[in-house]
Structure 1
Amino acid sequence: MVMEATRRMGFSANPLSLTVPDSVLESLLQDSGYHDLLDHRISAVSPMSPSSSSSATEAKPPTALSAQLVAVFSLLTINPFLKLSADDFSGDTPTWTTSFFGDSDFYSFPSSSHEARNRVHENVKRFARNYVTLFILFFTYELFEMPLALLGFVTSYAFWELFKFCVDRWESNRHPLIRKILIRVALCATVSFLSFLNVQIAVFYALAISYAVVILHGGFRNLSLSEKQS
């Protein structure tokens, strides 16, 4: 009877209590701009997240090193431009020394793949203008390494400026069909000319290096310190 009375006196769950799922809470923190709290929360929760197993025996919990390695390799599967929008390019460019690069305290290994994904998405939105500037620098460097490609790129730019001047002077707006045909022919000729001079190789190298910079910088850069410096 004592056990029965104790069971009856036990507190029941409050029906008015509110339970917020983890995904909803993270979205609220992200939309509200609390990236530092989000970064710390993901770091604290991810090692404690349970893993489902079909076997009856319990597996040993992964070490911190193995979890970090899994998080680093997960960077290869992330689409860094998933949450990027046109508004991210409209603001001011963050400073290179204090905001973009920073010092060694600004970087750390992500503790989980979820944290790595969140870091990449938020850092790409914050440093979008910096990444575009780096791509232009890499592309310019590759062009200078390929003199023929550089000459072809400059020649194509001069050709299009001359083409635009001639089209405007001839008042081709009165004949939209002829204008469209001329633009298509000039575009095909430009693409063929640039491909012949291997300009696409410079574009490929610049894109590959820029993508690696985005993934590594975005994945290892702490959100909390980025938020304080921005």
Structure 2
Amino acid sequence: MGRAFKANPLSLSLPDPAFESWLRDSGYLEILDTNSAALAVTPSTSATTTTSTIIHSLFHYLWAFFSLLTVNPFAKLTTDDFSARSPSWTREFLGFAGSYSFPSSPDTLKLRVQENVKRYARNYATLFILFFACSLYQMPLALLGLIISLAIWDLFKFCSDNWKFDGYPVFRQVLVRIVQCAAVIILIYLNVQMALFCALSVSYAVMILHAAFRKLAPQKQPSRGR
């Protein structure tokens, strides 16, 4: 005879966002990443390897990879993430060989990308500055244009402080617009926007790939006073 089970009134059913938020606050968000990867590996190890299984797995990974185009990596990023402690480049940001794996599903990929961008925001910002400096090094005219633009703004600030432009708000506003136009013309004419575009493209690609393949590492728990 079948036996009917009654629902436990003390059991809790948490929606995914609330459970994810609790795991993040508790420092155990990597559990979702580990469990999803284990679920993805289990069927392939127990079933017989066939051509259809290989094709299915190939399309599964391709779909997970192309879902990068639909993920907003900055959805959970806040300004406080840039003022937090910068993670270690070796142990936390780069990690070890076992710190990387292919995302098992689009949901896992989305979780990794958004959480890793939030955790390593300062590292990615440093990489952008490094790539931008390298782009300017390869484009000396762009570097010259950036230096001229900064010099123009410093000259304007020096003249404004010494000649008290604050007492003439209309005149000061006109000068600000003139300096802005001059700076934009110089930056465009000397291809500074090309160096900026190259740095943005390379740093964004590196950020997305690193965040997608980097496993979620356990977060350090703050020590609580007794």
TMscore range, shorter length: 0.7 to 0.9
Superposition deviation, residue 71 in structure 1: 1.3
Read off the aligned partner of 1:37 and give its amino acid letter: I
2:36 corresponds in structure 1 to: 42
Pick aligned residue for 1:132 from 125, 139, 151:
125
Question: Which of 2, 11, 18 is the equivalent residue of 2:5?
Answer: 11
User: Does the Cα contact within 8 Å between 2:20 and 2:29 map onto a contact in 1?
Assistant: no
Cα distance in 2 for partners of 1:25, 1:40 equals 15
Give the conservation status (yes or no) of the 8 Å contact 1:139–1:203: yes
SS in 2 for 1:19: coil
- Judge conservation of contact 1:43–1:111 (CA < 8 Å) in 2: yes
Q: Deviations over 1:150-206 (max 9, x none)?
A: 111111111111111111111111111211111111011100111011111111110
| Alpha-carbon separation, structure 1, partners of 2:39 and 2:13 | 17
Q: Does 1:202 align with 2:195?
A: yes
Separation of aligned partners in 1, 2:172 and 2:34: 57
- Asked if residue 174 in structure 1 is aligned to residue 186 in structure 2, the reply is no
1:15, CA displacement in angstroms? 4.6
Assess, with a 3 A threshold, how the Cα gap between structure 1 residues 14 and 103 changes in structure 2: closer, same or farther.
Answer: closer
**What TM-score, normalized by structure 1, do the two folds share?**
0.82
The amino acid across from 1:160 in the alignment is W
Between stretches 210-219 and 38-47, larger displacement belongs to: 38-47
Question: 1:61, CA displacement in angstroms?
Answer: 11
- TM-score, normalization by structure 2: 0.84
Q: Residue in 2 aligned with 1:107?
A: 100
Taking the aligned partners of 2:8 and 2:137, their CA distance within structure 1 comes to 69
Deviations 1:19-56 (A, max 9, x none): 223343223212332122222233345789xxxxxxxx
Q: 1:26 aligns with which of 20, 29, 33?
A: 20
Q: Percent identity?
A: 52
CA RMSD of aligned residues (A): 2.4
1:41-80 aligned at under 5 Å gives the runs 41-44=35-38, 63-80=56-73
Please say if 1:164 is aligned against 2:149. Answer: no
Partner residue, 1:53: none
Task: Tell me the secondary structure at the aligned position of residue 10 of structure 1.
Answer: coil
Structure-2 residue corresponding to 1:86: 79
Larger gyration radius, structure 1 or structure 2: 1
Match of 1:223, SS?
Answer: coil
Deviation at 1:14, TM superposition (A): 3.8
Q: In the alignment, which residue of structure 2 is the partner of 1:221? A: 214
- Quick one: structure 1 residues 115 and 185, their matched pair in 2 at CA, closer, same or farther if it must change by over 3 Å? same
Shift of 1:66: 3.2
SS of 1:224's partner is: coil
Change (3 A) 1:175 1:191: same
Mean Cα displacement is larger for which, 87-96 or 61-70?
61-70
Deviates more, 1:195-204 or 1:76-85: 76-85
Instruction: Write out the 4+ residue segments of structure 1 that deviate beyond 6 Å after TM superposition.
Output: none
